[in-house]
């Protein structure tokens, strides 16, 4: 497992070598900050954007040109926190840093297909919130049949929950969390002491210090391979090598979480994943200054115990008013309705959040939250060539994703989206119209075609039901 | 413009930012309740029949629309509400609402499969929060449809979603609902699981448990009714005279018939049964209508279509059928009379969202508006009361802070009988309930 | 003070005491023939019929009835008891209890059982009644049918008989109805409010049911209260509401339409919203009374909590006895300390709303209720 995940970047590198260039021409290039270029040009070379400009921007002669006349050219969206593609979102062991979503991701999940259809170019797959310490996560492109080829970044993060997992109370939760790190420290000490003694033995020296001192001096000698496999991930976490996604369901958990992260000196490595009530800790979250992923449920409801009146708070508005950037998640997942990130952003605008803030929440802020703000989230030279060509304004409900480019390669085309026709008209199109693929490399494989015959769209989904875990 | 002119535009702008700190300068909207003539001006006024005035004016008095159009004389000395860039539409009408009843299953009468003599109005909780949510979403009239767990269910009831209790009920043409799909057998079984004495429901203590059984219950009830009507013979199946009297009204055409149909095959069964008894009917929900467009067009059967949901799972029916998303567009193209329903959805799953999804999937905007206003009212026989902004009709209207049904728009002011029930801050005015 | 009083009581009321049993006319006549000496109680304060605490004086009880209230001196030959610091009020009336029946007052076979009378399930020897009497409750309603739309007639029960041991039926009260969801969901028709209301309307319109006084209608939510107002209003039937928790949402609807409301029990876990209902109803001039299944201490706690949440103390005291008697239709006979009323009274050593106040003496029909100590 470890070997494969180490290999993954190498494979990617190999794929990227297949030099190719592409350009999107003639559309209105729109960026999350609101800037627009009419009849703009986006040039992508070797998967990276080399130029964004007006109609006069030079296009390399060998570039595959995608005409976007009358279309809106927009950065592909980033899904910063999701369990799509995982059949079971959490282990039933509370502390499981030794697992890796690498082993669980189902590349053929219908949700990945829906990602392309709804403009999502990058997906961070991480375990759910019903845990104390979850496993390693992975950033992928929702495209391809093999997880290694889909991988954008392995070991992208690790889930820690401050809020109690099912069956725990808050005290147990924190106690388990502390105990895990204490056990790690004890294990590392034991290994360090052993390594110190081995080192001395090698040099034929006598061990003349107390065990504590031996452990202290031996620490520098410890490598990850010396550790028990169960503790390796957590050791990397404790050294700040793996970003944390810290779930705080309620405002009270935010306070506990920040305290604990400061104590562990891990606050700077943290992205917060918060529940709807956590808006009450807006000031603390603002002071922490870390990325913030909101729950898909945007409205927090509370019943006044005295009057029985239900008070509703539109959560993103609270953070927007406080000037705290946030990331949106879809409410559920799917093509038709609330499962779309666009819809969540449009709801924010409806409730008075500034448009650029709402749009960044599904692009730039989302990229920032997974540590890829420099690569994703907007159309700019140097960034990755993940481009959504839209039929209209990003937040207009009648807008469709017309085409998707991922790292410069055509990954989706509405005109050949067979399943879309099934979803919209209830009629199946003949297999001959199956999604078109553009040749160059493996990741550009079109989504798995729908099974033939009389299957209904939903029946082609994997059998797993998520077992009702919290996500 | 008169001295009483109120710049709602500024308030609408505030509402758009949704600021909690918006000053409490909401115009004394409650003062509108009198017999005073009020004019609302807006950048766009949709009358509901397809006509749009840009800009437009609506004149209201005593809870009714006096006039709506362009360049109307403003009331001298009366109140003029300038809604600025906002858009006014008629209040929305949901023709097959399942909200507002006393409880999910508590409203279902399980004692008989044939209960057309009962009135869904008796199951409505007028204080239900459902109505607040509906009103906040711009829905001003709902036809609460019969519960699906009886084969021949109760009459539906038309109600306003807010306002004084005395004004909440509307007289609609009586309409009995029939469910042949598995909701009357499948859901019925679920529903009838005896809660107190253990044991499950079975063929021994209820029927039907299949589609065939449901069709049998339907046939038998109408046969018994005809025999009772023609020769006074009582039902040997225990049908109450009151139930047979109600079915007699259906046979005579005095009471409308509505068939809840989701799966394609049930469209066929419904047509067959209706022909056997010479019945006219409308279709409720019509989930798989896209697969029976020709049948529906040939018979000109009105379809109350919806809802389209984010999730494929369909709790109501235990059936996985998800509607084809372009169904409204296809119905319109085929010339089939139809309207949209959100069923038990409100808020982000409400009727405005259904209209928005219909637009997303190809229905033109004007037709989408009709499908949630005048066409819905017409299918319920309520179009002389609600559904349009026309003289003499109820002053039920919605002021939107952008294009109606856009994902980024919402109702900022909702009037029912000329009374504001949602104010420009988007908050529900409780004192009107 | 306690031992002294009981000492005096022992002197004044020889064993087999002479108070009358008012349960039947025959018994009343028999007792009257015995011509027992009147009983005179001296207290510092007397709770007036309107619930206000008025000046004290002598209260004279003769032949099981109150002869005079507030006199300056006891009549000659009376057995006299003096309660320094004592506050006397009419015995508590709890209109909605299931005392002595273990809750078995519903007939499950049918949803409409107007012919049922809770008094038929009455067990006069049950210890519940004595326990109730000792806490100051002198009259209770036995209410049938929480799970029936029409449950049957309420039994009116005096918590203590002349020998201070058993309880006695004093008559049949009004019918009890249930408009909550409780009657539905079982294996019988109808299973819904929608199915039940047409039947109920027909029954009310056809005068099928004997309806003494105000029907007692259980309704919880605002909408159930609306149904009560509409259904009973259309039939011209007076009604009182039983435990209408969400009546605060329907105050305008019921004002002037209902004979009263039975609230409680409240305890320290009750929500402020629930506690406020009492004062809201009082402000709307809707009579209120409390229920706590016949436990006088719980009734006082209920009343005290309602007072803390805004109910005028005077109305809280009236709610403990006078209003309940009115709703049961026995207000000419019980519920207030006035000459001619039954000798149902309770003496506390302070304001009954003060939870520290202790019961000093309970008379039911003029007979003293034995304390636990005495009973041993």
- Complex confidence, ipTM: 0.85
Q: Give the per-residue pLDDT at C211.
A: 62
Question: Does residue B430 have a pLDDT over 80?
Answer: no
Q: Is the pLDDT of residue B427 over 60?
A: no
Contact C121, C146 (CB under 8 A): no
How confident is the model at residue A437, as a pLDDT?
Answer: 41
Asked whether the CA dihedral C204, C209, C213, C216 is positive or negative, the reply is negative
| Cβ atoms < 10 Å from Cβ of C225 | 27
Confidence at residue B93, expressed as pLDDT on a 0 to 100 scale: 98
Mean pLDDT check: name the lowest of A227-236, B193-202, C280-289: B193-202
Q: How confident is the model at residue C246 (pLDDT cuts 50, 70, 90)?
A: very high
Say how far residue C322 (Cα) sits from the centre of its chain.
8
pLDDT above 60 (res C2): no
- DSSP code at position B135: H
Kindly report the number of other CB atoms within 10 A of residue C248's CB atom. 16
Whole-number pLDDT of residue C102: 62
Other Cβ atoms less than 10 A from the Cβ of B424: the count is: 26
Q: Name the maximum alpha-carbon separation found in chain C.
A: 65
Residues of chain A with pLDDT under 70: 1-19, 334-339, 428-471
DSSP-assigned states of every residue in C181-250: STT-SSSSS--SHHHHHHHHHHHHHTT-S---SSEEEE--SHHHHHHHHHHHHHTT--EEEES-GGGGGS
3-state secondary structure of A270: strand
Flag if B109 and C253 touch (Cβ within 8 Å): no
- B274 SS3 class: helix
Q: Measured between alpha carbons, how far is A2 from C281 in angstroms, rounded to an integer? A: 71
Distance CA C74, CA C177 (A): 46
- Name which of B59-68, B315-324, C204-213 the model is least confident about: B315-324
- The C-alpha atoms of residue B19 and residue B316 are separated, in whole angstroms, by 38
B243 touches chain C (CB under 8 A): no
Helix (H) or strand (E) holding B251: helix B241-252
Sign of the alpha-carbon dihedral angle for B313, B317, B321, B327: negative
> What are the φ and ψ backbone dihedral angles of A219, each rounded to 5 degrees?
-55, -40
User: From the CA of C262, how many Å to the nearest CA of chain A?
Assistant: 21
Across the interface, whether the CB atoms of C271 and A307 are under 8 A apart is answered: no
- Tell if the CB–CB gap between C223 and B128 is shorter than 8 Å: yes
User: In this structure, what token pair is assigned to residue C116?
Assistant: 């049922």
The token duo for C370 is 């034995």
Nearest CA-CA partner of B125 in C181, C235, C273, C264: C181
Mean pLDDT of chain C: 87
* Ordered alpha helix ranges (H), B33-165: 129-136
CA-CA-CA-CA torsion sign (A148, A149, A155, A158): negative
Contacts with B15 from chain A: Cβ below 8 Å: 352
pLDDT at residue C70 above 60? yes
More confidently predicted of A414 and C209: A414
Taking the CA of residue B429 and the nearest CA in chain A, the distance in Å comes to 12
CB atoms within 10 A of CB A273: 29
Alpha-carbon dihedral sign for residues B48, B51, B56, B62: negative
DSSP A353-386: --HHHHHHTTTHHHHHHTT-TTTSSS--TTSB--
Q: Which of A99-113, A210-224, B202-216, C256-270 shows the lowest per-residue confidence on average (mean pLDDT)?
A: B202-216
Res A20: pLDDT: 86
| Chain C: residues touching B (Cβ < 8 Å) | 181, 184-195, 197-198, 221-223, 226, 246, 249-250, 253
Assess whether pLDDT exceeds 70 at residue C258: yes
Q: Whose CA is closest to A276, among A329, A323, A322, A353?
A: A329
Query: Does residue B1 register a pLDDT over 50?
Result: no
pLDDT tens, B244-265? 999 999 999 999 999 999 889 9
Please give the residue that has the higher pLDDT: either C182 or B209: C182
pLDDT given at position B25: 29
**A and B: number of Cβ contacts within 8 A:** 92
A321 CB neighbours in chain B (<8 A) are: 19
Q: Which residue has the higher pLDDT, B413 or A335?
A: B413
A375 touches A384 (CB < 8 A): yes
Residue C10 pLDDT > 50: no
Q: CB neighbours (10 Å) of residue A207?
A: 14
Which of the residues C222, C271, C308, C309 would you substitute to probe the A interface, choosing the one with the greatest number of A C-beta atoms within 10 Å? C271
CB within 8 Å: C271 and A305: yes
Question: For position C14, what pLDDT does the model report?
Answer: 34
Q: Helical H runs in C221-369?
A: 222-234, 251-254, 272-283, 296-308, 313-320, 322-328
> Confidence class of residue B154 from pLDDT cuts 50, 70 and 90?
very high
In 3D space, the residue among A395, A381, A378 whose CA is nearest the CA of residue A77 turns out to be: A378
Cβ atoms B132, B377 nearer than 8 A = no
Tell me the mean pLDDT in the region B181-200: 55
Q: Do A351 and B410 touch (CB under 8 A)?
A: yes
For B292-341, how does the pLDDT look when each residue is reduced to its tens digit (9 = 90+)?
999 999 999 999 998 987 554 334 444 546 788 899 999 999 999 999 99
Q: How far apart are CA C365 and CA C160, in angstroms?
A: 8
pLDDT for position B422: 78
Average pLDDT over residues C250-277: 94
Q: What chains are in contact with C, requiring at least 3 Cβ pairs below 8 Å?
A: A, B
Average of per-residue pLDDT across B210-219:
90
**A434 to each of A156, A419, A423, how far by Cα in Å?**
34, 9, 15
d(CA B137, CA B149): 28
Backbone region of residue B306 per phi and psi (left: phi > 0; alpha: psi in -120 to 50; beta: other values): left
pLDDT, residue B143, reads 97
Question: Which chain B residue lies closest to A311 (C-alpha atoms)?
Answer: B427
State the pLDDT at residue B282.
97
B433 pLDDT band, cuts 50/70/90, is: very low
How long a stretch of residues is chain C?
A: 376
Alpha-carbon span B273 to A111, nearest angstrom: 41
pLDDT tens figures, C172-201: 999 999 999 888 867 778 888 999 999 999
Residue B68: per-residue pLDDT: 96
pLDDT digits (tens, 9 = 90+) for B362-404: 999 999 999 999 999 999 999 999 999 999 999 999 999 999 9
**Which residue bears the tokens 């339907």?**
B218
Per-residue pLDDT, C5? 36
Q: Other CB atoms closer than 10 Å to residue B217's CB: what's the count?
A: 23
How large is the average pLDDT for residues B226-243?
A: 92
State the nearest Cα–Cα gap between C98 and chain B, in angstroms.
Answer: 21
């Amino acid at each position: 497992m470890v070997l494969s995940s180490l290999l993954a970047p190498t494979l990617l590198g190999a794929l990227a070598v297949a030099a190719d260039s592409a350009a999107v021409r003639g559309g209105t290039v729109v960026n999350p900050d609101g800037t627009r270029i009419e009849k703009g040009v986006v040039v992508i070379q070797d998967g990276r954007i080399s130029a964004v400009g007006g109609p006069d921007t030079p296009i390399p002669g060998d570039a595959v040109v995608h005409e976007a006349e009358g279309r809106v050219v927009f950065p592909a969206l980033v899904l910063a926190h999701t369990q799509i593609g995982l059949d079971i979102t959490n282990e039933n062991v509370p502390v499981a840093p030794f697992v890796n979503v690498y082993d669980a991701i189902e590349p053929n999940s219908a949700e990945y297909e829906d990602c392309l259809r709804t403009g999502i170019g990058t997906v961070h797959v991480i375990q759910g919130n019903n845990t104390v310490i979850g496993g390693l996560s992975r950033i992928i492109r929702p495209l391809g049949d093999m997880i290694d080829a889909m991988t954008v970044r392995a070991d992208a993060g690790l889930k820690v929950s401050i809020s109690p997992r099912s069956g725990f109370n808050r005290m147990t939760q924190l106690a388990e969390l502390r105990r895990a790190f204490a056990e790690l420290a004890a294990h590392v000490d034991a290994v360090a002491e052993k390594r110190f003694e081995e080192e001395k033995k090698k040099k034929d020296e006598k061990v003349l210090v107390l065990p504590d001192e031996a452990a202290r001096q031996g620490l520098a000698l410890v490598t990850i391979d010396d550790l028990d496999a169960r503790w390796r991930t957590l050791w990397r976490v404790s050294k700040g090598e793996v970003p944390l996604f810290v779930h705080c369901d309620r405002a009270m958990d935010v306070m506990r979480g920040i305290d604990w992260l400061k104590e562990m000196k891990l606050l700077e490595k943290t992205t917060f994943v918060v529940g709807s009530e956590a808006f009450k800790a807006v000031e603390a979250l603002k002071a922490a200054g870390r990325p913030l992923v909101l729950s898909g449920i945007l409205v927090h409801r509370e019943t006044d115990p005295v009057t029985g009146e239900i008070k509703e708070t539109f959560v993103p508005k609270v953070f927007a008013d406080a000037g705290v950037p946030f990331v949106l998640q879809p409410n559920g997942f799917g093509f038709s309705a609330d499962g779309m990130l666009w819809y969540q952003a449009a709801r924010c605008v409806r409730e008075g959040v500034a448009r650029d803030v709402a749009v960044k929440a599904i692009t730039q802020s989302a990229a920032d939250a997974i540590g890829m703000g420099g690569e994703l989230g907007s159309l700019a030279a140097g960034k990755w060539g993940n481009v959504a060509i839209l039929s209209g304004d990003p937040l207009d409900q009648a807008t469709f994703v017309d085409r998707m480019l991922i790292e410069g390669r055509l990954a989706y085309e509405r005109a050949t989206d067979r399943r879309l026709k099934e979803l919209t008209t209830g009629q199946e199109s003949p297999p001959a119209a199956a999604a078109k693929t553009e040749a160059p490399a493996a990741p550009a494989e079109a989504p798995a075609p729908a099974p033939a015959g009389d299957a209904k769209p939903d029946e082609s989904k994997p059998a797993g039901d998520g077992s009702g875990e919290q996500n | 413009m008169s001295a009483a002119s109120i710049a709602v535009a500024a308030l609408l702008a505030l509402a758009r930012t949704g600021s909690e700190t918006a000053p409490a300068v909401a115009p004394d909207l409650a003062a509108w309740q009198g017999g005073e003539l009020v004019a609302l001006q807006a950048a766009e006024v949709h009358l509901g029949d397809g006509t749009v005035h840009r800009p437009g004016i609506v004149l209201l008095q005593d809870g009714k629309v006096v006039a709506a159009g362009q360049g109307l004389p403003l009331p001298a000395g009366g109140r003029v509400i300038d809604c600025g860039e906002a858009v006014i539409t008629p209040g929305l009408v949901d023709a097959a609402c399942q909200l507002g009843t006393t409880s999910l299953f508590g409203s279902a009468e399980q004692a008989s499969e044939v209960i057309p003599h009962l009135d869904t109005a008796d199951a409505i909780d007028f204080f239900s929060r459902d109505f607040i949510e509906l009103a906040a979403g711009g829905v001003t009239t709902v036809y609460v449809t019969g519960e699906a767990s009886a084969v021949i269910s109760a009459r539906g009831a038309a109600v306003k979603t807010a306002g004084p209790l005395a004004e909440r009920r509307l007289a609609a043409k009586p309409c009995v609902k029939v469910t042949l799909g598995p909701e009357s057998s499948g859901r019925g079984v679920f529903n009838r699981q005896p809660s107190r004495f253990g044991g499950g429901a079975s063929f021994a203590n209820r029927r039907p448990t299949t589609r065939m059984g449901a069709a049998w219950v339907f046939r038998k009830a109408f046969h018994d009714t005809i025999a009772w009507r023609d020769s006074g013979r009582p039902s040997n199946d225990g049908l109450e005279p009151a139930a047979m009297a109600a079915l007699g009204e259906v046979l005579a055409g005095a009471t409308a018939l509505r068939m809840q149909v989701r799966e394609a095959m049930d469209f066929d069964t419904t047509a067959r049964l209706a022909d056997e008894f010479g019945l006219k009917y409308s279709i409720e929900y019509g989930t798989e209508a896209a697969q029976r467009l020709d049948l529906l067009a040939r018979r000109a059967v009105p379809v109350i279509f919806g809802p389209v949901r984010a999730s494929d799972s369909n709790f109501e029916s235990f059936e996985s059928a998800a509607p084809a998303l372009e169904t409204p567009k296809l119905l319109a193209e085929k010339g089939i009379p139809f309207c949209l329903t959100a069923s038990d959805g409100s808020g982000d799953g409400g009727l405005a969202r259904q209209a928005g999804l219909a637009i997303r999937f190809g229905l033109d905007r004007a037709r989408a508006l009709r499908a949630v206003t005048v066409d819905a009212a017409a299918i319920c026989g309520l179009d002389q009361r609600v559904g349009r902004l026309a003289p003499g009709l109820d002053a039920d209207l919605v002021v939107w802070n952008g294009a109606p049904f856009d994902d980024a728009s919402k109702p900022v002011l909702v009037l029912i009988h000329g009374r504001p029930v949602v104010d420009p801050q988007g908050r529900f005015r409780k004192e009107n309930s | 003070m306690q031992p002294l009083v009981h000492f005096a009581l022992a002197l004044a009321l020889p064993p087999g005491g002479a108070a009358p049993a008012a349960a039947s006319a025959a018994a009343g006549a028999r007792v009257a023939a015995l011509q027992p000496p009147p009983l005179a109680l001296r207290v510092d304060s007397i709770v007036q019929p309107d619930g206000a605490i008025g000046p004290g004086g002598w209260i004279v009880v003769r032949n099981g009835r109150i002869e005079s209230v507030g006199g300056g001196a006891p009549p000659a030959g009376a057995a006299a008891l003096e309660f320094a610091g004592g506050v006397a009020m009419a015995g508590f009336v709890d209109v909605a209890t299931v005392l002595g029946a273990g809750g078995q007052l519903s007939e499950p076979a049918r949803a409409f059982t107007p012919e049922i009378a809770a008094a038929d399930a009455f067990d006069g020897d049950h210890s519940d009644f004595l326990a109730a009497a000792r806490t100051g409750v002198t009259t209770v309603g036995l209410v049938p049918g929480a799970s029936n739309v029409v449950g049957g007639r309420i039994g009116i029960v005096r918590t203590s008989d002349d020998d201070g041991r058993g309880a006695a039926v004093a008559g049949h009260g009004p019918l009890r109805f249930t408009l909550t969801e409780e009657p539905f969901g079982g294996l019988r028709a109808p299973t819904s409010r929608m199915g039940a209301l047409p039947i109920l309307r027909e029954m009310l319109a056809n005068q099928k049911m004997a309806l003494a006084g105000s029907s007692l209608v259980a309704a919880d939510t605002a909408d159930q209260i609306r149904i009560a107002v509409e259904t009973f209003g259309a039939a011209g039937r007076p009604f009182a509401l039983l435990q209408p928790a969400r009546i605060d949402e329907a105050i305008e609807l019921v004002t002037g339409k209902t004979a009263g409301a039975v609230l409680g029990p409240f305890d320290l876990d009750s929500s402020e919203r629930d506690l406020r209902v009492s004062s809201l109803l009082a402000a709307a001039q809707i009579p209120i009374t409390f229920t706590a299944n016949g436990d006088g201490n719980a009734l006082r706690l209920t009343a005290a909590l309602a007072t803390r949440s805004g109910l005028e103390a005077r109305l809280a005291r009236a709610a403990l006895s006078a209003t309940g008697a009115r709703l049961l239709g026995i207000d000419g006979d019980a519920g207030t300390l006035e000459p001619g009323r039954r000798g149902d009274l309770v003496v506390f050593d302070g304001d009954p709303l003060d939870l520290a106040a202790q019961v000093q003496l309970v008379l039911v029909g003029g007979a003293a209720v034995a304390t636990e100590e005495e009973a041993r």
